[in-house]
Structure 1
Amino acid sequence: MIPEKRSISIMKELSIEHTKQMLMIDGADIKNPILLFLHGGPGTSQIGYARHYQKELEEHFTVVHWDQRGSGLSYSKRIPHHSMTISQLVNDAIQITEWLLSRFSKTKIYLAGHSWGSLIALHVLQQRPDLFYAYYGISQVVNPRHEESASYQYIRNISGRKRASLRSPLIRFIGAPPWKKDIQHLIYRLCVELSRGGLTHHHQQSLAILFQMLTGQEYGIRNIPKFLNGLRFSKKHLTEELYRFNAFASVPSINVPCYFMSGRYDLIVPSEISKQYYQALEAPEKHWFQFENSAHTPHIEEPSLFASTLSSHALHHL
């Protein structure tokens, strides 16, 4: 039995370059290694529901979630628009890592990046590999334009075989990417969800996430407007830079062990693109894991398997 005083469950606000940024830190034993989680988006923070899915993970790690600059509880109207760049978010992540190392008297931590967060993570690892034991890339973003094209083609093919499906007229209406109008992107994401390849493979899990955000103490109804404002703000200022990203060209190598995790049904970041990057990447050690019952969020959809996968491979701190 771990003494109660060695467990931790706190919300911590840090001041980083004139902005207030929120961390949520949970773990069964502060002597465990630290796992910093970079959420997706841009702007899709996880603090509002993450605790419901990480109890097993907390037995092995002190898990740190961060609402990125301009997202969720870190959103503010006073954030300078010019600071909303990938470069600044990378700098923020490095400063948070250094604070964690100091606060918990560690020499290195583990890093996980989900979707958009995996893009930020690659740049962090490229700049400061010395801070990390290993990296977990979940639904790894590689080239958003290629990922959308692959997903669009898949949805069009399956819709063509099911003429009665609502997806068929919708996907034909918007045409092939790239899309310039917001309505085209909205219809595409609707088609992804209808194809059960979106946030979760089973729609009831997405509803559960919404319920947890609305009723949980971390966000609750009172903070949903802040979450939505942060989502709009982040997408407005970061989406253009997101679509210019190409990991093959910008991050061909990483000097830490890498573990990539993909949901079988993911149509937001199809595994075929992520796996091509995994195969081409130069790293001292690398592994690929496919989650057979997940779409875009295997850490949420299959939390027990996610926790056991990480704990069985996170041996670099020993």
Structure 2
Amino acid sequence: MNDESGRAVIADLCRIPNPESIDRTAFVELGGVEQFVSIRGRSTVNPVLIVCHGGPALPSLPSSWIWQRAVEDYFTVVNYDQRASGKSAAAITDETDLSVDRYVDDLIELIAWLQDELGVSKVGVLGHSWGTIIGVTLAERRPDLLWAYIGVGQVISGAENEIESYGFAMRSATSDENREAIAELQALGEYPGSEPLTTERIVTCRKWAQYYGGLSAFRSDFDYFMDSQELSPYYTSDDLRLIGVGQVATMPRVLPALLTFDGRERIGFDVPMLQFLGRHDWTTPTAPVERWIARVTAPSKAVVWFENSAHLCMHEEPGKFLVSLVNLARPHAVAA
């Protein structure tokens, strides 16, 4: 079976044929940029949940077929390729605004569009990795738009994340007597230190943290995640190539905002706050999140630990991810 026939099988598996379902795609102008939006769910009466993807510039939709189909029985799930990401990357120019504030404003405009299109007053936002910066900023600024915020692989302090990730990589390499890893990590000098945090330095640190299971628990690679995009029923081969285009154009411009983000003093929220944490996550390490969420005040808050996951708990433990969303997030939507 080749990729095309595999895509066809998965597309049929993901099809929602009942009359009450919704399966729509559209390019929506957000902040003056056309951005690709997918809306899928078993019933239009279910609460709306927006997935704010990570990366930067790594859209969630191509690999969503692994875990999302069951979630669509309980939520109307909205994925959107953020500006300069995935199918939205074709619209990027050197003048395109890639500030955090612009990404947050895009999400606010998307919610307004969904309010008109679907007739809802509030939505849930599920941020993953880089998307948690956008999501938690929105939760602070516009709680009136949300029935809950769910952080997955939450970023709270970019600087602390680098320190934690490097420490894990060096401890693991030392315990494993991995001379290659130790030499490469030592060559970084004091990390992150006062030298510029270039993409090359970060890639070296991440390479070894991920080799020791910091991105996908108990795995030295995460090929299944990247390869799953090749079978996506939502993306053609040309669409998939746009992911790389977006990442090359976006990373140098967005990376400083990711690395300097500091939300440690953002602790007062007027919306329910949920955190889904992978016990083995050293891509966005959990220690800074634990310290932060303990200080957070909100109408309600909950922390779910995924004991067999790292950074990709929706892929690594999809059953627990679904149950946690239904039991802990959905009641807030019903009550809103």
In the superposition, the TM-score normalised over structure 1's length comes to: 0.93
Query: CA 1:297 to 1:11, structure 2 compared with 1: closer, same or farther past 3 Å?
Result: same
2:208 alignment partner AA: C
Q: Deviations over 1:224-282 (max 9, x none)?
A: 22100111222121111222211013x22211011101111111111111111111112
Deviation at 1:3, TM superposition (A): 7.9
CA contact (8 A) 1:142 1:273 kept: yes
Deviation at 1:216, TM superposition (A): 2.1
SS at match of 2:332: coil
CA distance in 2, matches of 1:205, 1:108: 38
Residue in 2 aligned with 1:224? 240
Residue in 2 aligned with 1:184? 201
SS at match of 2:139: helix
Residue in 2 aligned with 1:160? 174
Q: Counterparts of 1:1-318 in structure 2 under 5 Å?
A: 4-76=18-90, 78-79=92-93, 81-164=95-178, 166-178=180-192, 180=196, 181-198=198-215, 200-203=216-219, 206-249=222-265, 251-313=266-328, 314-318=330-334
CA distance in 2, matches of 1:207, 1:155: 19
CA contact (8 A) 2:148 2:333 kept: no
CA distance in 1, matches of 2:250, 2:57: 5
2:25 alignment partner AA: M
Query: CA 1:208 to 1:3, structure 2 compared with 1: closer, same or farther past 3 Å?
Result: closer
2:245 alignment partner AA: N
Higher mean displacement: 29-38 or 78-87 = 78-87
CA distance in 1, matches of 2:92, 2:286: 38
CA contact (8 A) 1:167 1:194 kept: no
Deviation at 1:61, TM superposition (A): 0.3
CA contact (8 A) 1:248 1:277 kept: yes
CA distance in 2, matches of 1:39, 1:127: 19
Structure 1, gaps ≥5 residues long: none
Deviation at 1:115, TM superposition (A): 0.8
SS at match of 2:148: strand
Deviation at 1:78, TM superposition (A): 4.3
Higher mean displacement: 142-151 or 217-226 = 217-226
Structure 2, gaps ≥5 residues long: 1-15
Deviation at 1:316, TM superposition (A): 1.8
- Length, aligned pairs only: 315
SS at match of 2:137: helix
CA distance in 1, matches of 2:29, 2:36: 9
2:325 alignment partner AA: L
1:307 alignment partner AA: L
